[in-house]
Amino acid sequence: MTPVIALVGRPNVGKSTLFNRLTRSRDALVADFPGLTRDRKYGNGQLGDKVYTVIDTGGISGDEQGIDAAMAEQSLTAIDEADIVLFMVDGRAGVMPADQAIANHLRVNQKKTWLVVNKTDGLDELTATADFFSLGLGEPHPIAAAHGRNVTALIDEVLSPFPERDPLAGPAGSHPGVHIGVIGRPNVGKSTLVNRMLGEDRVVVFDEAGTTRDAIEIPFERRGKPYVLVDTAGIRRRKNVSLIAEKFSIIKTLDAIKECHVAIMVLDARSGLVEQDLHLLDYVLSSGRALVLAVNKWDGLEQEAREKMRADIKRRLGFADYADLHFISALHGTGVGDLYKSVDKAFDSANSHWSTNRLTTILQDAVSEHQPPMINGRRIKLRMAHQGGSNPPIIVVHGNQTSSLPEAYKRYLTNTFRKVLKVKGTPIRFEFRSGD
């Protein structure tokens, strides 16, 4: 599993600044979709061949009633979900009462904790860190998040116990077949769907007890074709769905997204779309993972409710319109078989290879159909295109002044390539290179 680093500390010590620096890699999960509120922010980062996930917590001010109340909410959850805690303090402010309170909590907590003294730019490191020994968390590590001072060295050290993993390798497992992750908030019907897809008890299930973050792979066949179900949240084990409630964890969802080739995101037609659905979808989208949308509990739904759900999806999930949309009943099995066609198509699209010749022809046709605008009296030129990667497909476009290309034109190119190449179920990423 990918190591998870939680950033905790008082407000204003520089957590967001460090978060932004740590998640600045190409694979960063952080994407801004307007209207999403979040108390915790999750992002992916990469150092050398090591990938990691970072959780930024809002911050613990000293004003709450007791540290438990203050930490109870999001910070405690973040610490729970993490493998490593970076406890940040402010080297300019010195030790504050709230730092002391947080330190007391972390000392009794079993998590591996690093004491990080931020804002040491322009300060003598020894002087800036000396006070913080009193927190009883061992040696303080001086950094300057805003300037990057010591940050790489710190993360390198923090990650040293964790093995390297090629970030582009995809699922770590050894079973052949398309790896499917079923994700969604609690109660939408994931467990029911998974059991339906596996055909109840006909498959051999590798039910390792393991720790809570084991990725469990369940190989199965459908019409002679191998698939693997990736069950990071243990949804298969919850056979008696009414008995055990799922403890929802974004980290497990992120693991599922990372370990699968195609994610099936389940939505609940009865409760309708909620903020958390959009939030999860946001993560799938920014991860670049192939996606199929399944609107579950379609059985027995009134016509009016169906129309409302369709309209809601169209209005609010427009940003995920590359994904096939299915209306299913996991309970009765209606429409479940049809999911496979979309899963296969999404997998094939995500792993397609196209020749430079073909991509350049599509680009040139698109340009002659609809020219890019003039910038400072010179027209933006787009000359050639080649593939820069797959899963998700990356198309690299070479030209002049490409940094001035308007968003609307990029959308036009995306739509054109998508249509001509018949890409379905996966995002396409564009990279623009400029000769000037």
**How many separate helices (H) and strands (E) can be counted in the chain?**
13, 17
Q: Which residue among 44, 74, 329, 401 contacts ligand GDP (CB under 6 A)?
A: 329
140 sits near ligand GDP (criterion: CB under 6 A)? no
Min dist CB 436 to ligand GDP, Å, is 34
377: annotated binding-site residue? no
Distances (CA, A) of 221 to 6, 334, 350, 395: 39, 19, 21, 33
231: annotated binding-site residue? yes
325 sits near ligand GDP (criterion: CB under 6 A)? no
Min dist CB 180 to ligand GDP, Å, is 15
Min dist CB 319 to ligand GDP, Å, is 23
Q: Which residue among 100, 187, 249, 404 contacts ligand GDP (CB under 6 A)?
A: 187
Stretch that binds ligand GDP, among 61-69, 103-111, 323-331, 351-359 (CB under 6 A): 323-331
Residue 299 or residue 348: which is nearer to ligand GDP going by CB?
Answer: 299
59 sits near ligand GDP (criterion: CB under 6 A)? yes
Instruction: Report the Cα 220 to chain-centroid distance in Å.
Output: 26
330 sits near ligand GDP (criterion: CB under 6 A)? yes
Q: 410 burial class (0-12, 13-18, 19+ CB within 10 angstroms)?
A: middle
Instruction: Report the Cα 217 to chain-centroid distance in Å.
Output: 20
CA distance 182 to 291: 10
234: annotated binding-site residue? yes
Size, binding site for ligand GDP by CB under 6 A: 33
CA distance 116 to 143: 7
Stretch that binds ligand GDP, among 222-230, 250-258, 286-294, 327-335 (CB under 6 A): 327-335
58: annotated binding-site residue? yes
Sheet holding 4-9, edge to edge: 40-47, 50-57, 4-9, 84-90, 112-118, 141-142
Q: Which residue among 60, 70, 86, 235 contacts ligand GDP (CB under 6 A)?
A: 235
334 contacts 328 by C-beta, under 8 angstroms: yes
End-to-end Cα separation, the chain, in angstroms: 42
H helix runs in 351-406, sequence order: 356-369
Min dist CB 90 to ligand GDP, Å, is 8
Name which of residues 188 to 227 contact ligand GDP (CB under 6 A): 188-192
3-state secondary structure of 108: helix
Quote the tokens at residue 83: 């493998």
For the residues of 237-291, what is the DSSP string, one character each? T--STTT------HHHHHHHHHH-SEEEEEEETTT---HHHHHHHHHHHHHT-EE
82: annotated binding-site residue? no
Name which of residues 366 to 385 contact ligand GDP (CB under 6 A): none
Binding region for GTP: 9-16, 56-60, 118-121, 184-191, 231-235, 296-299
Residue ranges that bind ligand GDP, judged by CB under 6 A: 11-17, 59, 118-119, 121, 144-147, 184, 186-192, 235, 241-242, 246, 296-297, 299, 329-331
Binding region: 9-16, 56-60, 118-121, 184-191, 231-235, 296-299
